[in-house]
Structure 1
Amino acid sequence: MTHQSAINRLTRTWLLVFGLSLLVACGSEQEQAADNRPGRPGGFGPGGAQVIPAVEVVEARRGALPLEERLTGRVSARSQTEIYPEVAGPITEIYIDNGDFVNEGDPLVQLRDDEYVERYQQAQAGLEIARAQTRQAEASLQVLESQMRRVQELTTRQLETASALESIQVEVEVARANVDLREAQESQAQSILEERRLQLLNTTVRAPISGTVGQRNAERGQIVNTGSRLFLIGDMDEVRIEVLITERQLNFIREGMTVNLYSENWPDVVLESEISRISPFLDTNTLRTQAYIDMANPDGLMRPGMFLNVDVLYGESAEAVLIPNSALYRNPRTGEEGVYVMSPPGEEFRPVVEVDGAPAVSPPAAVRFVPVTVIASGRMASGVRGVQEGEWVVTVGQNMLTGNVPEARARVMDWNHMMTLQRMQSRDIFDIIDAARDDRNNAAES
C-alpha cells in the first residue's frame, strides 16, 4: 500500500467517524446543534443562515520522525515440532488432547502392537538359531583343526602323505569360513532383533520435547502411517517470529535493531523486541530472505500460526515540522496535496482529552489551504515543508472545507491522543463513541 493510499483510507475512516463523534461531544450544546442543522457545509441552511463546518485540529510540532519499515511476521513456537508415528497401525489409545502440556517422553498415542510383538518374538527365535549355528560351526572347526594337527605330526614322521595334509588343511579353511559366515548371520539376526524391538517400542508414540499440544489429528481406530501427522507440540513460553525482507531492505535492516509488534487482536498492546538474526541467502525466485525475532511470550499473547505487524526501527529522519498523516489532504479536483491551516483557537480551548468545563468547539475562525511538500513519511506522522511549527492543522473534516470555505469551528485534539486514535481500528473508534454516548445519556438521566 502506498503512502497516499494509506492517507486516503485513513481520511475516509475519520470522515465516517467524525460526524458521530461531534454528536457525542456536542449533543448538549444548543447553539452548536443549531449551527449544524441540515445544510451544505460551508453553504446556507434553512432561512439563509450560513452553516459553519466543525473540524478537528492539532498543533504542528517540530521533531524527528522515527524511520521504520512495516513488515508482516508469522509466529511459531521457539521449540515446535510435528508428531508423526514411526510405524504404521491402527490407534488403540490416545492419552492427550489439544491444550495439554506434556513432558519429553510422555506417551501420546498407542498403536496396536500385536503384529510387532509377533515379529519381535520371531526375531528372537532367529537370533537363537543363528547362535546355535555359530556354535555348531565352531565345534566342526575345532574337530578339523585337531585332525589337522595329528596329520601334520604323522607327516613329520613320514607316516602320512603330503596330499593328505593338504586335504585336511583345505577342510579347515572351509570350516573357518563357515564360522565367519555363521557369526555374520548371528550379527544380522541381532540387528533384526534390535530393529523389531524399536518397532515394538515405537507403537507407543512419545513426546520428543516438552510443550503444549495442538492441532490434534488422531482418533481411536484411525489407521496411521509414517506420513500421518498426529499433533503439533511447541513450547509456548518462547516464540519465534519469521519476517521476510527484500534485497532493498537488507541495505538498512540489521541484526539487533529494535522492532515493535502489533496485532488487531490486542490493539492496546505494543511488544518490543529486536531482530535476533538474518539469513544471508536470498531466495532465487522471490529475492527475499528471512529475519528472525526470538522473544518471550508474555501472557501467551502470541499463538503459533498468527500474523503480526512488525515495525522495524532503523533510525531517525532529520528534524522537520511534523503533522499527523490524517492532516494531509489531496484536492480531488486539482490533485494538489496540502493541509488546511486554522487560526489558533485560543488557550481556553484545550484538547478534548483535557476538557473539564471548557468549550469543546471554538467560535468560527479563519481557515486556508496551504500546499506542502512531504520530506519524510512515518507510519503516524509526516515531516513537511510549507507549514510552520505551532500552526493548527485540520485532521478531520477537510472535505467540508473545499470550495474556498473561509472559516470553520475547531475541536482541539491532543497530539498524543491523535496518534493513539490513528493506531486504532475503525471498530475501536466506534466502541469509544458508543461508550461516550452511553455516559452522556446516563448523566442526562441522573
Structure 2
Amino acid sequence: MVFLNWFGRVLFGCCAIAAAWSVWYVIYLQSHAAIAEGEKPKPEQVIAVEVVAAQQDMIEERIELVGNLLPVAQTEIRSRVDGYIVELPFDVGDRVSSSQTLCRIDDSGQLEALDKAKATLKAAEAQLRVQESQYRFTQKSVEREERLASRGAGTDEQLETAYSNNEIALAQVELEQARVAEAKADVNVLEIGLEDFSLSTPISGYVASRMVDIGDLAKPDVPLMQIVDLETVKTTVNIIEKDYQKVAVGQAAMVTVDAYPERTFVGEVKRISPVLDQDTRTVSAQIEIKNQDSLLKPGMYARVSLNSEKVKSSVIVPLSAVLEINGRQAVYLVDAAGKTELRQVRLGSSDGLVTEVLEGVEAGENVITLGNRLVKPGQLVNAEQQQQPWGLDERALSSGMEPSAAPIGDPAGDLVTDPPIDPTADSAPLAGE
C-alpha cells in the first residue's frame, strides 16, 4: 500500500513535468516561427511638405550687420574741487540744458577766502595811494631844490638828497602797484574758483545716471553724473573685407531694434575706417541715426541693413528652404516622382526673404520650404506647391518700407543649424560634392 502511494506520486510528478515541457515547447516553436518569418515591414510614412519652385528673378544686394547703439555725445560731470554736495536739483531721466546748474558744492570756505582777498586788495590800494602822495611830495621837493640851485641859493647835497628821495618814493609806488595787482589777481582767482562749486553740463540732454546724493563728498576723481544727448545715436558695425567696396560715406542705412520690431529707423554712414583690423579682417563703420522721438536708447542691440544699390537677376529661393548641415548650406529638392534629394548649395546675396543661389539649384526645381527638417534623402513626400515670395518691390513693401531700401531682418536668423535629420542621412554625401 505504501509502495502504491509512492508510485502514484512519482507518476503524477512525471506527468506534470511532461505537461510543462510540452507547453514550453509549443511556445518555443511559435516564437521561433515568428522570428523566422520576421516582422512585416511597416509602410513608409509619407510626409506632407510645402515646396517652391526656384525662380530667375531680381534680387537687391544688402549687407546685414549688427551693433550696439551709443549716444553721439555724452559727458561725465566731475568736480574740480573737494567739497560736500549741498544741492542736486536733477535726477535720472530728467532733461537738462547747458545753462542749468546740475550740482552745487558747499562754497562757504571759498567765499570766506574771497572776502579776505578783497580786504587785502583794499589795504593794498590804500597803501598805494599813500605812496603816490609821498611820490608827488618828493617831486615838488626836487623842483624846489632845482630852482634854488639855479639861483645859487641851494647846495648840491640838498639837490642830490631830493633826487634820491624822489627815486625811493617812485620805487615805493611801483612796489605798491605790484601788491595791488597781486591782490586783484588773488581776487580774480577766487572768483573764478567760485564757479567750480556750481557745476553745469557742456551739452544738453538727459541724466543717464547719478552716482551721488546730497551730503556726499565730491572729489575730482569721482564722477557725479552722466549726461547723454539722445537727439542722435550711433552704432559702429564691422564690415567684412569682401563687402568693403560696397559701403560708402553718406550711404543710407536701415536700423531695427527688438524694442520696436515694427519700426524702421533711417540712418547714414558717417565714417569708415581706412584700415582693416588685422585680427578680424573687418573694417569699422560708424552709422548715425536721428532720434527725434527719443525712442532709441544707448545699449540697445541694433540690426543694420545697408543697401549696396546693386540689383541683379539670379536664381532665388526662399531663405526658409536653406539648412545648415555640418557647416555646409544645403536644400532639399523634390523630383517629379515625389522623392527628396539633399543638395549642397552656394549662396550669394539675400534681402531677408529670399536668397541668391550661385550653385546647386537651377530655375524651376522645387525646394522644400516647410517640413525640410523632418525628411531624409530619398524619402517619398507629398509636396504641396506654393508661390515664390513676390517680386523685388513687393518684398520690400511687405516690410513697410520703400522699395530698394528696406531691411527685412537678419538672414542668418532664418537658417537652421544642425537640424534633426535621420542618422542614415549623415553618411550620404550631399549632391554636388
User: What TM-score, normalized to structure 2?
Assistant: 0.70
**Match runs of 1:128-143 below 5 Å:** 128-143=122-137
Instruction: Give a deviation string over 1:392-422, Cα, whole Å, max 9, x none.
Output: 3223543433342143444847625899686
- Checking the alignment, whether the CA contact within 8 Å between 2:114 and 2:191 is kept in structure 1 is yes
* Residue 125 (structure 1) shift: 1.0
* Residue 341 (structure 1) shift: 2.0
Matched, 1:75 2:70: yes
**Match runs of 1:145-156 below 5 Å:** 145-156=139-150
Report what 1:198 is aligned to. 192
Report what 1:229 is aligned to. 223
What secondary structure is seen at the aligned counterpart in 2 of 1:398? Answer: coil
* Residue 166 (structure 1) shift: 4.2
* Residue 128 (structure 1) shift: 1.0
Report what 2:34 is aligned to. none
Report what 1:300 is aligned to. 294
Matched, 1:341 2:333: yes
Q: CA RMSD in A?
A: 3.8
1:374 aligned to which of 347, 353, 362: 347
- Checking the alignment, whether the CA contact within 8 Å between 1:368 and 1:406 is kept in structure 2 is no
* Residue 215 (structure 1) shift: 0.5
Q: Percent identity?
A: 26
* Residue 320 (structure 1) shift: 1.2
Cα distance in structure 1, aligned partners of 2:66 and 2:210: 31
- Checking the alignment, whether the CA contact within 8 Å between 2:342 and 2:377 is kept in structure 1 is no
- Higher-Rg structure is 2
* Residue 108 (structure 1) shift: 2.3
Amino acid at match of 2:374: M
Amino acid at match of 1:72: G
Distance change in 2, residues 1:314/1:212 (3 Å)? same
Distance change in 2, residues 1:375/1:246 (3 Å)? closer
What secondary structure is seen at the aligned counterpart in 2 of 1:202? Answer: helix
Cα distance in structure 2, aligned partners of 1:195 and 1:404: 89
2:175 aligned to which of 178, 181, 184: 181
Matched, 1:262 2:256: yes
Distance change in 2, residues 1:262/1:128 (3 Å)? same
Report what 1:3 is aligned to. none
Cα distance in structure 2, aligned partners of 1:166 and 1:326: 111
2:338 aligned to which of 348, 365, 369: 365
**Match runs of 1:24-423 below 5 Å:** 48-61=42-55, 62-68=57-63, 70-76=65-71, 78-162=72-156, 164-243=158-237, 251-278=245-272, 291-316=285-310, 318-329=312-323, 332=326, 337-342=329-334, 365-376=338-349, 381-410=355-384, 412=386, 415=389
* Residue 378 (structure 1) shift: 6.2
Distance change in 2, residues 1:330/1:181 (3 Å)? same
What secondary structure is seen at the aligned counterpart in 1 of 2:293? Answer: helix
What secondary structure is seen at the aligned counterpart in 2 of 1:49? Answer: coil
| Ranges in structure 1 where 5+ consecutive residues have no aligned partner | 1-44, 345-363, 427-446
What secondary structure is seen at the aligned counterpart in 1 of 2:222? Answer: coil
Cα distance in structure 1, aligned partners of 2:224 and 2:83: 13
Distance change in 2, residues 1:307/1:375 (3 Å)? closer
Cα distance in structure 1, aligned partners of 2:388 and 2:259: 26
Distance change in 2, residues 1:290/1:184 (3 Å)? farther
Higher strand share: 2
Report what 2:28 is aligned to. none
Distance change in 2, residues 1:246/1:392 (3 Å)? closer
- Checking the alignment, whether the CA contact within 8 Å between 2:211 and 2:225 is kept in structure 1 is yes
Distance change in 2, residues 1:114/1:399 (3 Å)? same
Amino acid at match of 1:374: L
Cα distance in structure 2, aligned partners of 1:245 and 1:312: 11
* Residue 371 (structure 1) shift: 4.2
What secondary structure is seen at the aligned counterpart in 2 of 1:319? Answer: strand
* Residue 89 (structure 1) shift: 0.7
Amino acid at match of 2:120: G
Distance change in 2, residues 1:331/1:115 (3 Å)? closer
What secondary structure is seen at the aligned counterpart in 2 of 1:400? Answer: coil
* Residue 243 (structure 1) shift: 4.5
Cα distance in structure 1, aligned partners of 2:410 and 2:367: 16
Distance change in 2, residues 1:249/1:174 (3 Å)? farther
Distance change in 2, residues 1:282/1:60 (3 Å)? closer
